[in-house]
Amino acid sequence: MGLRLEELFLGYGNKVVVRGISLEVRDGEIVALLGHNGAGKTTALKGIMGLLKPYRGKVLFDGEDKTGWPAKDSVARGMAYVPQGSGLFPDLTVAYNLELASYTVGDPSAIEARQAEAFRLFPILEKRRGQTSRTLSGGEQRMLSVAMALMTKPKLLMMDEPSLGLAPLLVEHLMDAVRAINAEMGTAVLLVEQNVKQALATARRAYVMKVGQIILEEDTRALRDRQHLWELF
């Protein structure tokens, strides 16, 4: 059944940032959420995850109304969120970061299996497993953030600007990993990106946000054919 938002309003204090958005991410689907800085994309992800309490509207996940659930309950029910930046424990090793991210799993053999899966997707992390995360490059830190999100084996992975600040080759590698996570694990992905080319090459459908509202939903193949996509913003 996946994720569905119904007329969701979000903001900070008296400032409304997201204004009545509705969107859907079906099981096993990759969906992109596009828009310039300040459009409300990050705020939308925080509201979905439970880091912000909606003013109005609904967040439905697997057919259940989870509006206003705290983030820990979202994790327990199968959501994971990779924020902008690293979100890591900088003084802890790669292996210990992964172990902490699997706190809801419990079974040591399952934790070990998921760590092995993370190292398969990101082999460089296995080589760095004994290093503290602060010693990793920017790209390696981003990979570790994604690997940590995968430790709970989520049904839905939400990623906020994963390519931000990365070299093109690293972006391509990261997006290859996102496609593999989706294809091999069946994980649905909601991808917030300003790298429109990569987002449209990775996702099946896309929503475009402008000033807190969704102004367009379209198949990514159709969007790729638009010569002046950014004029929509």
Give pLDDT tens digits for 187-211: 999 999 888 888 999 999 999 999 9
The closest of 34, 39, 40 to 10, measured between CA atoms, is 40
Burial of 224 (0-12, 13-18, 19+ CB in 10 A): middle
Q: Phi/psi of residue 30, each to 5°? A: -105, 125
* 131 plus 174 within the same structural domain: no
Cβ 89 vs Cβ 97: under 8 Å? yes
Give me the pLDDT at residue 228, please.
62
Instruction: Point out the domain boundary residue: 114, 131, 150.
Output: 150
Give me the pLDDT at residue 26, please.
97
Instruction: Point out the domain boundary residue: 98, 132, 150.
Output: 150
Residue with the bigger pLDDT between 11 and 85: it is 11
Q: What is the pLDDT of residues 38-81, one digit of tens each?
A: 999 999 999 999 999 999 999 999 999 999 999 999 999 999 99
Domain count, the chain: 2
Considering the chain, what percentage of its residues have pLDDT values greater than 70?
Answer: 96
* 74 plus 110 within the same structural domain: no
* 74 plus 165 within the same structural domain: yes
Q: What is the pLDDT of residues 135-175, one digit of tens each?
A: 999 999 999 999 999 999 999 999 999 988 888 888 999 99
Residue with the bigger pLDDT between 208 and 226: it is 208
* 121 plus 141 within the same structural domain: yes
Global pTM reads 0.93
* 113 plus 184 within the same structural domain: no
* 211 plus 228 within the same structural domain: yes
Give me the pLDDT at residue 127, please.
96
Whole domain around residue 135: which residue ranges?
84-150
* 169 plus 201 within the same structural domain: yes
Please give the average per-residue pLDDT across 20-25, as a whole number: 98
Give me the pLDDT at residue 178, please.
94
* 220 plus 165 within the same structural domain: yes
Residue with the bigger pLDDT between 186 and 229: it is 186
Taking CA 58 as the corner, what is the angle to CA 57 and CA 62, rounded to the nearest 5 degrees?
165
Q: What is the pLDDT of residues 74-123, one digit of tens each?
A: 999 999 999 987 689 999 999 999 999 988 887 888 889 999 999 999 99
Give me the pLDDT at residue 103, please.
81
Read off the CATH number of the domain in which 173 is found. Answer: 3.40.50.300
Give me the pLDDT at residue 69, please.
92
* 104 plus 65 within the same structural domain: no
Q: Phi/psi of residue 203, each to 5°? A: -90, 160
Give me the pLDDT at residue 214, please.
97
Instruction: Point out the domain boundary residue: 114, 132, 150.
Output: 150
* 125 plus 169 within the same structural domain: no
